Each structure stands twice: as C-alpha cells, then as structure tokens.
C-alpha cells in the first residue's frame, strides 16, 4: 500500500533520516529507510575526522558509496557537517608556533581547503550542506571553538563564502540546537541578519530537534519556525528524536558525575522496554510536533529524524551515558512504533 511516511508528506516537506555505518550494512534497516524516507544524512561519516584521516589524505570510499545509494534511490542527500567544534581530526590543532595573525590566515586556508574539497567532491550529489554546526551557547554567546579562537567571529561567514565558491548551486544551512530558546534564538537571528546584510549566501536554518516529551513548549517551537522563515530562509527540522527519559540535572551529566544507585534507576526507567502508556505519550508528542510542522508547511522544507532504530540512537548516551532511550520511529527489533501510522493518518 501507499501508506508510508514520505509519500504522505511529500506534498508538504521531505522526510529525512540520519544513518550510521551499521545501518547502511543492514538490509532490514535499509528496506525501511527506502519505504519511509526521501532524504538522508550520514550521522557521522562525513565529519572532518572521518574523511581527512591524515593530513592531506582524504578517504572518500564509504561516503561515495553512501552518496551513490542516496542518488540512485532519488533521496535528497544532506551533507553534515563542514565546520564544527567537534569531530575534527586530532592532528588538526596540534600546537604550532605562530602569532595570531599568522594563525588566522593559516586556519582560514585550512578551513577553505576542507570546505572546497568536500563541496566540490559532492557537487551535484549533495542537495544542501550544514555549513556551520552549533556555533552558539544557550546564553547567546559564541561557543568556544578552535575556529572561533583561531580565526575570529567571522569564521561563520567565511565558511559560507567558501562553500558557495566551491558550488554556487548547493544550498547552505546553519544548523543548531536550542533555537526555540530566547537568548540563543536572538543571537542566531542576529548572526543570520548580519550575514544577509553583507550578502553572504545562506539559504536555510536547521532547527535541531533533540526533544523530549515536554521540551520544547509547542508555542515556542511554533514561534521559532515563524521567526526563522520571516528571515526568508528555508526552515528544516533536523536531528529529530524525542527522548522519553527524565532529563538529568547539570551536576548529573559529567563523565565523573556521582549518581547514587536509586537515582540511576530513576533516570533509566524503561530498560526493559517501553510500557504502553509511555508509548502513547511518545505517539501523542510526535503528533503534536508534526501538527506544528504541518501548520508551517510552506516554510518547512524537510524534517529529518536522527536515526532509524532506538538500538543505535545517540540519545542512549546523551545527556548521560548508557541509558535505554526510545526516541525514534523503530524499536530495538526494527518494529515500527504506532507513531508511524499516527503520523501517516495525520497528513
């Protein structure tokens, strides 16, 4: 039958999914991916540390195959991500003796070269790139990043310019979490307006959807989509996953946080599976979120889930490691959850 996600939603927006290397090697997963989605992203393999394995040496073999799968099956392929504070090669920022001006020029050129290499390689294959990922903190300040430290605040606009030089036809996005929250949203809106005033090419914003049963407040999500679309940008909901677990306090989140056993249990209540009641809450929550996305169907061009099966969701390890979360559309046995038909019925 025709009741799958992407055919239901294709008149409104793309429905995307992020895959891992384990996913692409699994026929059952790939079957479901072909059935329900029409956009794909790799959750890890395109990051800098994964492609430029030693200085000047790029290994494109896996990503070339991945792009081939996407293109052959008419998926919209999204590149993730060119410039980030994380997943940089370990050799990239080794101490070099140079003054600030030299460092700026040196790392601008390093960044330009990487962007040019990636964007040129996948020209005509990637529809859009997450050019800069997560440049701000919740409080609206620039997030400390080697790029900020070595180049300065204009590393963002430089990255977009370099990407545009390498492929003037590809879409360029700024991608971040917490864009529904006031301080950060203000900072990102200002940054984008500054880029636009200077004529820097930027085509869209990715609102990361690492959500929960209660976060974010739907009205704030509604307003955030409206605000970014008023800037004349395509709005994408990226990295969507809905955690069903309690969100730990800040002191419970570090590597060496000391959490007593009772609290560990409390933070990980569904290690034996998701009870019906919680499954229903998850379904209702996804339906509520998609109601907002549908309300903004003219602004939203894509909604991408951050993974296929709960078995491999990064949410099992974030914001605390080693939990059993249930944030995605498929359970640990690759059975579709009731969320899937609920979303199909909605549109």
Q: What are the catalytic residues?
A: 239
The 8 Å CB, 24+ separation contacts for 65-68 are: 65/24, 66/19, 66/24, 66/40, 66/42, 67/122, 67/125, 67/126
DSSP assignment of 126-153, as one string?
EEEEEEEE--B-TTSSBPP-HHHHHH-T
Taking CA atoms, 268 is separated from 23, 317, 331, in Å, by 25, 11, 16
The only residue of 4, 133, 185, 304 in contact with ligand XIL, by rule CB under 6 A: 133
Is 185 or 316 the residue whose CB approaches ligand XIL more closely?
316
- Of residues 138 through 167, those in contact with ligand XIL by CB under 6 A are none
Q: Where are the beta strands (DSSP E) in 43-143?
A: 52-54, 57-58, 76-83, 126-133
State the minimum distance, in angstroms, from the CB of residue 49 to ligand XIL: 10
Number of shown-chain residues binding ligand XIL (CB under 6 A): 6
Is 82 or 339 the residue whose CB approaches ligand XIL more closely?
82
State the minimum distance, in angstroms, from the CB of residue 267 to ligand XIL: 20
Q: Are 270 and 245 in contact (CB under 8 A)?
A: yes
State the minimum distance, in angstroms, from the CB of residue 317 to ligand XIL: 8
Is 1 or 255 the residue whose CB approaches ligand XIL more closely?
255
- The residue of the chain with the least Cβ separation from ligand XIL equals 314
CA-to-CA distance for 115 and 104, rounded, in angstroms? Answer: 16
Largest CA distance in the chain: 64
State the minimum distance, in angstroms, from the CB of residue 59 to ligand XIL: 18
> Does 12 sit near ligand XIL (CB under 6 A)?
no
| Interaction pattern, residues 307-346, with ligand XIL; x per rule: CB under 6 A | -------x--------------------------------
The Cβ of residue 236 has, within 10 Å, a number of other Cβ atoms equal to: 29
State the minimum distance, in angstroms, from the CB of residue 207 to ligand XIL: 12
The only residue of 23, 26, 43, 167 in contact with ligand XIL, by rule CB under 6 A: 43
- Of residues 239 through 298, those in contact with ligand XIL by CB under 6 A are 239
State the minimum distance, in angstroms, from the CB of residue 54 to ligand XIL: 21
CA-to-CA distance for 187 and 95, rounded, in angstroms? Answer: 31
State the minimum distance, in angstroms, from the CB of residue 8 to ligand XIL: 26
> Does 44 sit near ligand XIL (CB under 6 A)?
yes
Is 32 or 133 the residue whose CB approaches ligand XIL more closely?
133
Is 239 or 283 the residue whose CB approaches ligand XIL more closely?
239
Is 240 or 279 the residue whose CB approaches ligand XIL more closely?
240
Q: Peptide bond before 124: cis, by omega within 30 degrees of 0?
A: no
Is 160 or 206 the residue whose CB approaches ligand XIL more closely?
206
| Interaction pattern, residues 210-239, with ligand XIL; x per rule: CB under 6 A | -----------------------------x
Q: Are 204 and 171 in contact (CB under 8 A)?
A: yes
- Of residues 84 through 123, those in contact with ligand XIL by CB under 6 A are none
Q: Peptide bond before 216: cis, by omega within 30 degrees of 0?
A: yes
- Bridge-based pairing of strands 14-19 and 57-58 is unpaired
Q: Are 312 and 328 in contact (CB under 8 A)?
A: no
- Bridge-based pairing of strands 126-133 and 76-83 is parallel
Helix, strand, or coil here: 119? helix
Which spans of this chain sit near ligand XIL (rule: CB under 6 A)?
20, 43-44, 133, 239, 314
């Amino acid at each position: 039958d025709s009741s799958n996600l992407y055919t239901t939603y294709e008149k409104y927006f793309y429905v995307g999914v992020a895959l891992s290397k384990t996913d692409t090697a699994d026929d059952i997963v790939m079957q479901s991916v072909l059935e329900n989605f029409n956009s794909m992203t790799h959750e890890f393999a395109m990051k800098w540390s994964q492609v430029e394995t030693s200085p000047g040496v790029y290994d494109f073999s896996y990503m070339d195959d991945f792009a081939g799968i996407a293109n052959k099956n008419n998926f919209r392929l999204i590149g993730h991500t060119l410039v980030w504070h994380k997943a940089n090669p370990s050799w990239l920022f080794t101490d070099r003796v140079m003054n600030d001006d030299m460092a700026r020029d040196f790392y601008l050129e390093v960044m330009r070269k990487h962007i040019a290499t990636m964007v040129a390689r996948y020209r005509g294959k990637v529809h859009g790139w997450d050019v800069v990922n997560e440049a701000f903190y919740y409080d609206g300040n620039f997030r400390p990043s080697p790029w900020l430290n070595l180049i300065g605040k204009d590393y963002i606009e430089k990255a977009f310019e370099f990407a545009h030089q390498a492929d003037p036809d590809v879409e360029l996005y700024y991608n971040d979490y917490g864009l529904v929250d006031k301080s950060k949203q203000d900072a990102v809106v200002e940054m984008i307006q500054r880029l636009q005033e200077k004529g820097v090419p930027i085509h869209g914003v990715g609102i990361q959807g690492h959500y929960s049963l209660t976060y974010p407040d739907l009205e704030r999500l509604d307003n955030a989509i409206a605000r970014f679309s008023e800037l004349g940008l395509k709005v994408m909901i990226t990295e969507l996953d809905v955690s069903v677990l309690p969100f730990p306090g800040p002191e419970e989140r570090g590597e060496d946080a000391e959490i007593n056993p009772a609290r560990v249990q409390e933070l990980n209540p569904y290690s034996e599976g998701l009870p019906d009641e919680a499954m229903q809450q998850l379904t209702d929550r996804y339906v509520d979120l998609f109601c907002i996305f549908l309300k903004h169907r003219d602004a939203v061009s894509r909604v991408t889930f951050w993974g296929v099966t709960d078995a491999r969701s990064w949410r099992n390890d974030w914001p605390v490691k080693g939990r059993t979360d249930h944030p995605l559309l498929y359970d640990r046995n690759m059975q579709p959850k009731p969320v899937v038909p609920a979303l199909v019925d909605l549109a």
